[in-house]
Structure 1
């Protein structure tokens, strides 16, 4: 690659993060592949095709692993471009939320198969909230007072 060509000349300006390789040509090839992967995945999602489908995905656990691989590759591409953006996505909870949305627990919840935790004390509520936060899961809770009230508790 010639030093005066647009990409070799500006590669360090555009890709400010840690590079997976030191060779400009290899970096460009990897970026091209990663952008293509992200674009194809985005098109699949936005055209309402199942995001989890892939050859060899036979069950929910494999689908979740596949989706987490996609999330990881998207995060890696963003980190090549701007490590600051990864910090922002992390601090705002976007990455944690994406990982939570792509979980077996969420699949169970949307199939109405998740269990409901009965809350009868403040200590039980704190215990359930802490467990939901640690496991990064949305929890369905039922509180009994004058009448039964059902809530969805989601960690931030």
Structure 2
């Protein structure tokens, strides 16, 4: 974006308060760099949002599978309606004559139940919209599960749903067998209890990241860093946490995610080079002949990098499409006309 562009309306529409976070985290010299960085955050949000969407679907289906296989139900019953849980002492209530306070559901149990009730209503509403308002059909378990919020699957990992005595029929740890192909490595006593809590905290952290994206906040805001290189490190750590959760759910899911085009895109975006691209700080490489183009390809072979190039009156960029492959495949895009360069050696 040229520096002479009038950003007055952009500042009003996005709001100075929202843009303040960008100023505090990066050394921004002008409005062009500011909105370039804002655009970078939008691109990062899109890529991360897609990854988190995949993880959310996998997680809820994995835990749903655990519920179906761990909780005994009768016809027309769903496992989440029969889920055993521990009560907790109501600290705000007065004790009875024996000095004992009443036992109540924990906030996590209530939130889990409310989340499923909300999902059930939503599924029923969609069913009526599809079949007619007078339909007597009830939503299926899969239809209900698909309408749940991400928070539901954090709540069900709470200790209220855990009991080491398998005869009591609690979801955890029996459900580990169906929900998680791998579990976090722990030491000491009560390993299965620890593993549940580690998974719960990981889901909570990822849900916080997801909410930040959903509310159009800077993705890097939660890293705690206010320096470009440290912010990149913080984002990489967050992404690694998401990837680790996919491994706990299923090593196959983990392999699929790590080798997906989505991860390639994230590696490209989460880099100082791409931030510099967004803020117009990287020099454009002049491609004057085929050799100089091949030199750019060679440089990009081992990095997830988008290189800005110019050739005569054309401007554009090149990037590697599949770094992990033995086949050197690149794409080049120009402003006009569009040119694709495949398998240049």
Compute the TM-score of the two structures, normalised by the length of structure 2: 0.42
Is 1:13 matched with 2:178? yes
Contact 1:119 1:143 in 2 (8 A): yes
Within a 5 Å distance, the mapping from 1:41-56 to structure 2 comes to 41-54=209-222, 56=224
Asked which structure has the greater CA Rg, the reply is 2
Residues 76-115 of structure 1 aligned to structure 2 (within 5 Å): 76-115=244-283
Q: CA deviation at 1:118?
A: 0.9
Written as runs of structure 1 = structure 2, the 5 A alignment for 1:1-156 is 1-3=164-166, 4-17=169-182, 19-21=184-186, 23-54=191-222, 56-144=224-312, 148-156=313-321
Is the 1:11–1:24 contact (alpha carbons within 8 Å) kept by the matching residues of 2? no
Structure 2: runs of 5+ lacking an equivalent:
1-163, 322-345
CA deviations over 1:38-97 (Å, ceiling 9, x no partner): 000111112111111247512111111110010010000111101111211223232232
The count of residues paired between Structure 1 and Structure 2 equals 153
**Runs of 4+ residues over 3 Å off in structure 1:** none
- Residue matched to 2:89: none
Distance 1:17 1:130, change over 3 A: farther
Give the superposition deviation at 1:28: 0.6
Q: Distance in 1 between matches of 2:311 and 2:254?
A: 38
Residues 130-150 of structure 1 deviation map (CA, whole Å, 9 limit, x = unaligned) = 212312111111122xxx111
Q: Is the 8 A contact 1:116 1:139 kept in 2?
A: yes
Q: 1:11 & 1:55 partners in 2: Cα distance? A: 30
Q: Which moved more, 1:130-139 or 1:75-84?
A: 130-139
- Where does the alignment leave 5 or more consecutive residues of structure 1 unmatched? none
What secondary structure is seen at the aligned counterpart in 1 of 2:265? Answer: helix
TM-score by length of 1: 0.89
**Quick check: 2:223–2:231 contact (8 Å CA) kept in 1?**
no
RMSD: 1.7
Q: Secondary structure at the match of 1:150?
A: strand
| Structure 1 residue 154 displacement after superposition | 2.4
